[in-house]
């Protein structure tokens, strides 16, 4: 209240939040029950009451540039107690989604990724791409082998397995797609992060939420590292009263992804440096890790889908898109492998090959979605939340 300023409402922002599932924000009458209900809101300038009024007033910068919206783990304690049915948890979730769109470059892509009508296009691109890649692999193997020999390399990687996914879409083609794609996503993230961290620091200074007025990058990065154990153990998530089970499910998926990332990295190195191709034996430790990670993703995301289906309020497209993607990734990965193993049974090779390739094809499309749309979809929370929780650590905001 000490400093006065002219309110410049951004009405588009209010509409954007409403369309992302935060339409209940206008019901809020600022009683501040939510801030008390929240078990993880700090005492100094707690959330989500101030975000509720800032959102309904269209103060876009105040909301999107605040690290606080990322401290919320959407347990729903606030919505449960809200006397007006204003669902602050949903509003903050919508605000996070709006923040992802805001900080992603180019912005129009962010809007399109979260638009259900665009889904056929966004699935169509990778579907067409991998159809082409499969066509190249299956029809042009000989000429590619000759071409590669010219550089002293092999197009084919030798394997004894009766069915190998690399015979459907070559590992070379998979990696030539995904490695640049992931790097592009990381670049887009970096551009977004620079602005994001600048904004959340400015906001914290403005609202008196930090004891540091100058920003020190090294100290900040140290704080991010310090925050990692809390994030890994889901400590804040578990402080949320309403749903401990959700934290466990989320943890399974997170660890599943980390596991798969490690497996992929090992596979990558072993293939291109060691020249040993997959598929690996089922008893290979890397394979075992891969399977544990895969099961984690499938079970975790299944639990989250179940949880979401049980909600009285229907969830928005962005929420479902992510959950279906994650579950689909896990399920098609496991199915590709499972059906491939049936190839060891006499007489099943033919049919198993077709079915396994089909699942692999879907799997590739979904991985493309994961990597390409990462900075624009709800999945981007993995980056912004870590950055924001690291900032909370840096700013001594507890």
Partner 1 sequence: MTTDKANPAVGSILVVGGGISGLTTTLEAAEVGYEVYVVEKNPNLGGRVSQLNQYFPKLCPPTCGLEINYRRIKDNPKIKVMTLTEVEKVEGEPGNYEVTLKLTPRFVNEKCTACGECAKACSGEIDNEFNFGMDKTKAAYLPNDMAFPMRYVLSADISAEDGKKCEEACKYGAIDLSMEAKTMTINVGAVVWATGWKPYDATKIDNLGFGQHKNIVTNMMLERLAATNGPTKGQIVRPSDGKAPATIAFAQCAGSRDENHLPYCSYICCMASLKHATYLRAQYPDAKITIYYIDLRAPGQKYEKFYKKLKEDENVFFVKGKVAEVSEEANGNIGVVAEDAVSGEKSTQSVDMLVLATGMEPSLKTDKPSADLNYNEDGFVVNDFSKGGLFAAGCANKPADVVTSNQNATGMALKAIQTLVRR
Residues lying near partner 1 in the complex (CB under 8 A): 1, 29-37, 41-46, 49-50, 81-85, 207
SS3 category, 126: helix
> Which residues, including other chains, have CB under 8 Å from residue 228's CB and lie 6 or more apart?
386
Q: Which residues of 215-251 are buried (b: 16+ CB within 10 A; e: fewer)?
A: beeeebeebbeebeeebeebebbbebebbeebbebbb
Residue 267: both structure tokens together:
């596979």
CA atoms of 188 and 371, how far apart (whole Å): 11
- Distance of closest approach, residue 36 Cβ to partner 1, in angstroms: 4
CB of 279 to partner 1, least distance (A): 55
- Least Å from the CB of residue 243 to partner 1: 18
* In the complex, least distance from residue 83 CB atom to partner 1, rounded to whole angstroms: 4
Q: Are 43 and 35 in contact (CB under 8 A)?
A: no
Residue closer to partner 1, measured from CB, 29 or 135? 29
Q: Measured from the CB atom, is 45 or 159 closer to partner 1?
A: 45
Residue nearer to partner 1 on the CB measure, 35 or 316? 35
Nearer to partner 1, 39 or 159 (CB): 39
- Tokens in use for 75? 């347990």
Q: Which of 73, 8, 66 is nearest to 39 (CA)?
A: 73
Residue 132 structure tokens: 């082409």
**What is the nearest approach in angstroms of partner 1 to the Cβ of residue 208?**
8
Q: How far is the CB of 192 from partner 1 (least distance, A)?
A: 28
The token pair at 169 is 């879409």
Token pair 């699935």 is found at 123
Residue 231 C-beta: closest distance to partner 1, Å: 24
395 contacts: CB under 8 Å, gap ≥ 6: 67, 201, 204, 209, 210, 211, 212
By beta-carbon proximity to partner 1, the closer residue of 185 and 210 is 210
Which residue has tokens 């029809």?
Answer: 139
Query: What is the nearest approach in angstroms of partner 1 to the Cβ of residue 234?
Result: 23
Q: Which tokens go with 311?
A: 């909600």
CA distance linking residue 324 with residue 370, whole number of Å: 11
**Among residues 117 and 312, whose Cβ is nearest to partner 1?**
312
Single out the residue of 359, 363, 357, 290 nearest to residue 326, CA to CA: 363
The three-state DSSP-derived secondary structure of 154-178 is: CCCCCCCCCCCHHHCCCHHHHHHHH
Cα 395 to chain centroid distance, Å, stands at: 25
Minimum CB distance to partner 1, residue 8 (Å) = 21
* Closer residue to partner 1 in complex, CB, 41/166: 41
**For partner 1, which is the closer residue by CB, 37 or 374?**
37
Q: Which is nearer to partner 1, 46 or 256 (CB)?
A: 46
């Amino acid at each position: 209240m000490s400093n006065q300023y002219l309110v410049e409402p951004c009405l588009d922002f209010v509409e954007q939040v409403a369309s992302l599932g935060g339409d209940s924000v206008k019901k809020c009458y600022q009683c501040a029950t939510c801030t008390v209900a929240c078990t993880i809101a700090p005492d100094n300038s707690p959330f989500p009451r101030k975000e509720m009024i800032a959102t309904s007033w269209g103060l876009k910068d105040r909301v999107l540039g605040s690290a606080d919206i990322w401290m919320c783990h959407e347990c729903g304690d606030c919505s449960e107690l809200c006397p007006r049915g204003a669902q602050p948890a949903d509003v903050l979730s919508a605000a996070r989604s709006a923040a992802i769109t805001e900080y992603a470059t180019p912005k129009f892509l962010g809007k399109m990724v979260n638009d259900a009508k665009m889904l056929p296009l966004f699935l169509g691109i990778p579907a067409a791409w991998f159809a082409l890649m499969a066509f190249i692999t299956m029809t042009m193997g000989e000429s590619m082998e000759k071409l590669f020999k010219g550089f002293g390399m092999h197009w084919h990687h030798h394997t004894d397995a009766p069915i190998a996914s690399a015979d459907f879409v070559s590992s070379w083609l998979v990696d030539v797609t995904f490695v640049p794609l992931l790097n592009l996503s990381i670049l887009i993230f970096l551009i977004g992060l620079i602005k994001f961290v600048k904004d959340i620091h400015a906001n914290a200074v403005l609202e008196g939420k930090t004891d540091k007025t100058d920003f020190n990058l090294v100290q900040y990065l140290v704080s991010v590292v310090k925050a990692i154990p809390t994030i890994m153990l889901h400590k804040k998530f578990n402080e949320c009263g309403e749903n401990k089970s959700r934290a466990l499910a989320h943890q399974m998926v997170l660890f599943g992804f980390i596991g798969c990332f490690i497996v992929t990295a090992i596979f990558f190195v072993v293939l291109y440096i060691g020249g040993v191709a997959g598929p690996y034996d089922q008893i290979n430790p890397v394979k075992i890790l891969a399977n544990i990670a895969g099961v984690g993703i499938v079970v975790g995301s299944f639990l989250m889908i179940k949880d979401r289906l049980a909600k009285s309020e229907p969830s928005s497209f962005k929420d479902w898109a992510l959950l279906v993607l994650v579950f689909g990734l896990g399920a098609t990965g496991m199915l590709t492998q499972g059906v491939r193993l049936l190839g060891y049974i006499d007489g099943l090779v033919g049919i198993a090959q077709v079915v396994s390739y089909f699942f692999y094809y879907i799997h590739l499309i979904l991985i493309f979605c994961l990597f390409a749309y990462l900075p624009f979809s709800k999945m981007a929370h993995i980056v912004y939340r870590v950055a924001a929780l690291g900032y909370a650590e840096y700013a001594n905001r507890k």
